[in-house]
Structure 1
Amino acid sequence: MESLRSLQRAAFTDVLDYGIFLFKKHLKKLFIINLIFNIPVILLLTIFNPVFTEQYWNLLNPTDIVAANPNEIFSSMFTMLFGSLALQGLYTVTLKNVMEGSIVKILYADTVLNQKKSIKQAVKECFSQFGTLLLGRMIYILIQGAVLAVLYIVLFIGVFSITFGILGLAVTSFTVPWVTVILSVLGIIIVIGAVFFISTIVGFYYGRYWMFLPAICVEQQKAGSSIGRCGNLGKNNFYLIGLSFTFGNIIVWLFPFIISSVFSIANLVSGSFDVELFRISTVITQIFSEILRPLLTCILTALYITLRVKREGLDIEIDLWQIKREELDRKKLKLQEAANAD
């Protein structure tokens, strides 16, 4: 209880630290769930990846692209691309729900209810909520699409503004050079700040409405009401949610990015572009990113628990579970006494 109450004053760094702690604590269970519901799908997606087709490399080789049939090249690539997207979409609304939902149930039961939940039990409960999770995920995807659409409009306007700013800067540079230096530095700072702020906004909406998953899995909400629950939990927690989601993704993707960068640098140093090395690096990077994927779910689950502690506290819910467990223990004891008496 003390550890949960301390979350009332938690910052996003505490959420990240708590999520990493949960990931380490339940690493074995998380790896098994990931191995069952995620890794096989990623292997299929890798097979459909256009990077692994000869047609893709023909586009990069001027000699081969002249000799090849353009219709065959593009038809094969688009077939694989749409096949990959279709498989990814199907996975997102089905097995991904089961994987993330099982993780949420296991973490919540252990952290809040002090109850051990097996993988089999968690997966079974998620499949019993399969339809609700599917509808909730589809609503979440629509929200993500709306956020991206607004972001696209903002970026479109921003590009025009930056373009005119650069033109004005170029004109000024001919007359007052020192002003150009100051404005250039100021412009870089503004761009970095804008990117950070936009990332936080996107992270806020993505992180806030991801809470539909624990709302369904933990609180037994319906798909529609789970979205309303997200709005309630996310009130007055803009920076906590936005920064937790943004930096959580950075942590998850940082190590795969480093691996990919090492392979890219090795290719550049060799002086020639090694196709096989690029393919191997793609597979290794993808495998590592998928192994670390449950870490983001752990961070978001820690965020969910933190938000509930901040807004509601979990004392009542924990007390109710303790009463239920005590009643269950008493029933088991009576049954044992009756069996011994017989």
Structure 2
Amino acid sequence: MLTRTFGALSVIALAACAAVTSGPASADDDDAFSHDGGGSRGRPVKVMIISMFGPEGQVWLDKLGPWRDIQVDGLSPDYPAVHCNRQDVCVMTTGMGHTNAAASIMALTFSPRFDLRRTYFMVAGIAGIDPQRGTVGSAAWAKYLVDFGIQWEIDGREIPAGWNTGYLGINTKSPSEKPPLDYRTEVFKLNTQLADTAFALSRNVVLSDNAQAQAARAKYSYPPANLPPTVIQCDTLAGDTWWSGTLLGQRARDWTRILTDEKGVYCTTQQEDNATYEALKRAASVHKVDLNRVAVVRAGSDFDRPYDGQTSADNLLNYSAQGGFTIALENLYRSGNPLVQDIVTHWSEWREGVPRR
């Protein structure tokens, strides 16, 4: 399960947040935002923060400005500008789901307005979270991106005898087989060194929490679900279908293990990350970006399965009652900003690649 909004108010905020920024820099700010050496390749960027909908981007816009807004052809009409500050940190919002993510990232990376060859990309978004791996508010740095949507499916009421799920890999004979990966987007491995560095920089930060999330956690009888949020490392699963439940949750765990040859550990569920990475991969194939500079952090805004005695339907329909939305947004900033600031503060160490420390 994954969440995007906190009731009707945040649905309205989707379009509105694109405009609720500091706006374009004034003429007096031009020198502070100008760069030498960009030339025909466009504006160089040290860090590009990728958010998926308004509130995810706004948490950065509220804290790291002032910003200059740069219009980019082909971005979502809801979020038509990339926002960049004096530290060469930029924030862009793709729009939600696989299709919006892929289209927006392709527009960004092929735009002549930016030079992204040395840019570090940080995907920072909220997600559903496995209560056996984290809790609402926890922020998870991923090493593997797994696509949950590229599977065959048989309705659960028609599952063959001996199968534990109606899902199986395309062109396989059973749910436990690894598929041939014909799509080439089913699973991606991120730069482990970058993921480890991001985790090391943020693992001891104090994360935001609230009473509503604490009450939701207390209904789970086991850790880490019933513990305060922390920064963790585990992997993320993408799929445009929102889901909830113990059985689907177990398939998410199993599918991650199958596609990563037992190396990956599922913990968060979202919609976009495989699409985002594939678009970056297309740009990397023509030397516009460096895939070794991609990091993904997802913060748990709700549990992906119910507590004992709760139904999966109740967990899905009443996800906002868990209180994770606002703290997950704040914790994206708290867990991601140490990496952002280390990169821009020590750019001489990061310019040629992830430093070994």
| TM-score, normalised relative to structure 1 | 0.25
Higher strand content, 1 or 2: 2
Larger Rg: 1
| TM-score, normalised relative to structure 2 | 0.24
